[in-house]
Amino acid sequence: MRFSTFVSAASAVAFASLVAADADAEKPSDVITLSQETFESTVNPEPLILIEFYAPWCGHCKALAPHYEEAATALKENNIKLAKVDCVDQAELCQVHGVQGYPTLKVFRNGEPNEYSGPRKADGIISYMIKFVPVFLFVHAPWSKLILRQTLPAVSEVTSANLSDFQNADSIVAIAYVTSTTDAPASEFSATAQKHREEYLFGLSTDPEAIAAAGVTPPAIVVYRNFDERKTEYPYPVSSATVKDVENWIQELSIPLLGEVNGDTYAVYSNSGKPLAYLFVDPSDEKTQGLIEALRPVASKYHGKVNFVWIDATKFGDHAKALNLPEPKWPSFVVQDLAKQLKYPYDQDKAIEPKAISALVADYIDGKLVPKLKSQPIPETQNESVFTLVGQEFEKVVFDESKDVFVEFYATWCGHCKRLKPIWDSLGDHFAHVKDQIVIAKMEAQENDLPATVPFSIGGFPTLKFKPAGSREFMDYDGDRELESLISFVEEKAKNDLKPKVKSSEEGSQATFEAPKDNHDEL
């Protein structure tokens, strides 16, 4: 998931990165450029390769470019390659690989793709690509150095010689202690490791000395973390643990009780699917750390239901506005339902106290809170053929069962939306004569929230949704964005008759027949 609301910060990075890219234009690149002709022959033999699918005009791609180049150079030492595909020049290749936005990054293992979910800065890319699977270099001792590589098996052997180093090798380390590799839960643990090898470090030990040093009774699974509680043992009957059980448990432990959220860590929280409780703070304020610690027991109370985070308000003030915190007053607090994109801000005029925050979160969990919806003002006039839709009028306009409704959800800054605008305007013009039957509308999705009654959220721009007359169900439009295709879609899906109504001669006053004047010659 992209943190699209960090737009201003991303723009600043894009500008700085663009300058850096121009300065380095003459340097040879360590990033491989791929085409339709070279893709398979280059990618399929590689045990591990990262590929960026990009567009030259994309600002986020320009911001990523210097970091991607730096990572490519650094990873050469580990024989890990980075490549890129220009989706303007190689449109068919990008379509084959399901690229829908830019940049899209994928990790390929011998030609098999997986989505890249790591950071977008050089050090993060490097860490991600060298992470999770250990290989040991034997120099003068049996264990002299740990190098983490994705190119090796998902589960590493742990012995008394490497136990301590392995437990501390990453921020999240899971170790299964069993008397034999055939004992439960070894097979389920290994399957979990294979599925999540790009996220966590997995090890397995049958060494009695290692098991004794770990202080556990086999079979056991233990997660070691470099934050919060250091060591946590699987609390349920471990012999019957399934892949789903183990992965859910590790995923919950992987989220700090009250950690910092930023561009690099946001994906961890968004992928959990749980609501986010934000504490916006100024890190330079001497009271900030005390406030974070004061809220930690509250975060612990609701852990598993709501993820608590703190965020640097001096960097991400625009995100506070996106969460409907109107004033730049810190500290501030807001709960966000990520699934429905609904926001529940705490009154900025009130002091943030643990008791009050706990009550707010409890009311949210119990469904007692009403979300605060953002909306642009209702337009005074609607003279254009495309209806300007705002949050306040969404239910009134879209859920009018007498009309078919076709809505474009757009963002002002979105290049795709700007290219669609004249076509969407033409679509409105095409159906202007039947405005009483169909509404062609547009809505600035970053300036207007959707009501809780809407069964979807907007994840990209533009998003096109059609609601037939007499229904509250929405259809996605996923065809091409040519005017003829849009017209055909509307005519196929609309429930109303989209032909103009013509009054019959019998409507209103009765028609009269007037004989022609006799001013011409008879035959």
**CB neighbourhood size of 50 (10 A):** 24
| One domain for residues 235 and 270 | no
Q: Among the three residues 254, 279, 305, which one is the final residue of a domain in this structure? A: 254
Residue 247 lies in a domain: yes
Residue 373 lies in a domain: no
What are the tens digits of pLDDT across the range 51-68? 999 998 888 898 899 999
The pLDDT-based confidence of 521 (bands split at 50, 70, 90) is: very low
Residue 210 lies in a domain: yes
List CB contacts of 373: < 8 A, sequence separation 6 or more: 324, 342, 391, 392, 449, 451
Q: Are 21 and 64 in contact (CB under 8 A)?
A: no
Residues with catalytic function: 58, 61, 414, 417
Backbone phi and psi for residue 340, each to the nearest 5 degrees, phi listed first: -100, -5
- CATH number of the domain within which 67 lies: 3.40.30.10
Query: Measured on CA atoms in the order 242, 243, 246, 252, is the torsion positive or negative?
Result: negative
Question: Helices H, strands E: what count in the chain?
Answer: 16, 22
* Paired sense of beta strands 258-260 and 276-281, if any: unpaired
Q: Worst-scoring range by mean pLDDT, 2-11, 155-164, 379-388?
A: 2-11
What are the tens digits of pLDDT across the range 315-366? 998 889 889 998 999 999 999 998 888 899 999 999 999 999 999 999 999 9
Residue 400 lies in a domain: yes
Q: CA 10, CA 3: separation in Å to the nearest integer?
A: 9
Residue 420 lies in a domain: yes
List CB contacts of 204: < 8 A, sequence separation 6 or more: 155, 156, 157, 158, 175, 176, 177, 178, 181, 186, 189, 190
Domain range for 318: 258-366
| One domain for residues 305 and 325 | yes
* Rounded mean pLDDT, 98-114: 88
| One domain for residues 422 and 391 | yes
- Alpha helices (runs of H) in 202-323, residue ranges in sequence order: 208-214, 243-253, 266-272, 288-301, 317-322
Q: Among the three residues 71, 101, 131, which one is the final residue of a domain in this structure? A: 131
Q: Is the pLDDT of residue 259 over 90?
A: yes
Q: Which tokens sit at 402?
A: 């007498």
| One domain for residues 44 and 115 | yes
Residue 523 lies in a domain: no
Q: Long-range contact list for 95-98, CB < 8 A, 24+ apart?
A: 97/53
Q: At what angle do helices 288-301 and 354-365 cross, to 10 degrees?
A: 40
| One domain for residues 223 and 269 | no
Q: How many structural domains does the chain have?
A: 4
SS (H, E, C) 106-159: EEEECCEEEECCCCCCHHHHHHHHCCCCEEECCCCCCCCCEEECCCCCCEEECC
List CB contacts of 466: < 8 A, sequence separation 6 or more: 404, 405, 406, 407, 474, 475, 476, 477, 489, 490, 493
Query: How far out from the chain centre does Cα 486 lie?
Result: 28
| One domain for residues 358 and 407 | no
Question: What 3-state class would DSSP assign to 337?
Answer: strand
**End-to-end alpha carbon distance in the chain:** 84
Residue 521 lies in a domain: no
The pLDDT-based confidence of 256 (bands split at 50, 70, 90) is: very high
| One domain for residues 88 and 111 | yes
Residue 113, strand partner residues:
108
List CB contacts of 375: < 8 A, sequence separation 6 or more: 390, 391, 392, 447, 448, 449
| One domain for residues 250 and 265 | no
Q: CA 66, CA 121: separation in Å to the nearest integer?
A: 9
Q: What is the mean pLDDT of the chain?
A: 85
Q: Which tokens sit at 486?
A: 């849009």
Q: How far is CA 342 from CA 260, 307, 376, 377, in A?
A: 21, 15, 16, 19
Nearest to 68 by CA among 21, 36, 115: 21
Give the pLDDT confidence score for residue 3 in this predicted structure.
36
Give the pLDDT confidence score for residue 496 in this predicted structure.
95
Q: How far is CA 447 from CA 100, 392, 399, 450, in A?
A: 23, 11, 20, 10
Residue 504 lies in a domain: no
**pTM of the shown model:** 0.57
Q: Which tokens sit at 48?
A: 């591990």
| One domain for residues 237 and 262 | no
Q: Give the Cα-Cα-Cα angle 45, 46, 49 (nearest 5 degrees).
A: 145
Give the pLDDT confidence score for residue 131 in this predicted structure.
64
Single-letter code of the amino acid located at 92: E
Nearest to 434 by CA among 505, 502, 506, 504: 502
The pLDDT-based confidence of 501 (bands split at 50, 70, 90) is: low
* Rounded mean pLDDT, 450-460: 86
| One domain for residues 246 and 305 | no
What are the tens digits of pLDDT across the range 352-395? 999 999 999 999 999 999 999 989 999 999 999 999 999 999 99
What are the tens digits of pLDDT across the range 414-445? 889 999 999 999 999 999 999 999 999 999 99
| One domain for residues 222 and 197 | yes
| One domain for residues 285 and 309 | yes
